[in-house]
Amino acid sequence: MSAASEVLLVDPTIVVVPWHDDVVDLIGHDLRSTYVETFWLNVFGPTATWLLRRMATGLDEYPGGYELDLEQTASALGLVFTPGAANPFARSMQRTVMFGGAQPVDGGLAVRRRLPPVSARHLSRMPPYLRAAHQSWRSPHPEQGRELHDARARILAEAMLRAGDPGDAIERQLLGLGVPPVTAVSVAKELSLSGS
C-alpha cells in the first residue's frame, strides 16, 4: 500500500466525510445490505465490514461528515485503539481503504455509503458456493417472469413504506420475504430514487 493511501491513526479522532461517486451511488449496494454482508464480507473481513457500516450509519446522522472517536469505535468492535498502524483496529481501517470502501482525504477519511458489485477478481477468490450464490443474485429467476417479480415486489415495498417502515430497510425486508435479490435491489433503488 502506498504512503498516499495509508491511514495514519495517531490522533484520538478522525473526520469521516461521504465519498461521492455518481456511478457507485447509483448501481451500488448499501453497506448494511444483505449483498454486502454476503459477498463483500469475504473481501473486507468482518471487522472492516462492521467498521464501514458504523461509519455509514454516522453519515446518515451527519450527512456532511462527523468526527469519529477511534477509541470508542474500536471498543464497540471488541478491539483496543492504540495510535499507529500495527494493531488490529488500524489494520481493519486499512482494509477499508485497500479494498475501496474508503479513501484518505485531507484531515480524514472519505467513506462510501454504497459499494459496487464485487469484481470478478474478488469473486475468483471466493469459495464455489459464494460464486454460485453471486451468479444467482445477479440473475432473475427464469421460472417466473421478471415483470411479475417486479410488480409483486413493488406492491410489497410500497405497502411497507405506507406502514411506516424505513426506506433503507426495504431491500432487506423484500429479501426476507423471498423476493429474488436482483428484483429486491432494483425495486428498493427505484423507490429511493423516486423519493417515495
* Cα–Cα dist 189/80, whole Å: 37
**pLDDT (tens digit, 0 to 9) for every residue of the chain, 196 residues total?**
444 466 667 788 999 999 999 888 877 889 998 899 999 999 999 999 999 999 999 999 999 999 999 999 999 999 998 887 778 999 999 999 999 999 999 889 999 999 999 998 999 999 999 999 888 877 655 555 567 667 778 888 888 888 888 877 888 888 777 777 888 888 888 877 776 5
Q: What is the pLDDT of residue 148?
A: 65
Residue type present at position 82? T
Q: What is the pLDDT of residue 171?
A: 84
Whole-model pTM? 0.70
Give the chain's end-to-end CA distance (angstroms, integer): 42
* Cα–Cα dist 175/182, whole Å: 10
In DSSP notation, the chain reads: --GGG-----SSEEEEEE---HHHHHH-EETTSHHIIIIIHHHH-HHHHHHHHHHHHHHHHSTT-EEEEHHHHHHHTT----SSSSSHHHHHHHHHHHTTSEEEETTEEEE-SEEPPPPHHHHHTS-HHHHHHHHHHHS--TTS-HHHHHHHHHHHHHHHHHTT--GGGHHHHHHHTT--HHHHHHHHHHHHHHT-
Grid cell at residue 196 = 417515495
Q: What is the pLDDT of residue 102?
A: 96
Q: Where are the domains of the chain?
A: 3-119, 139-194
Q: What is the pLDDT of residue 128?
A: 94
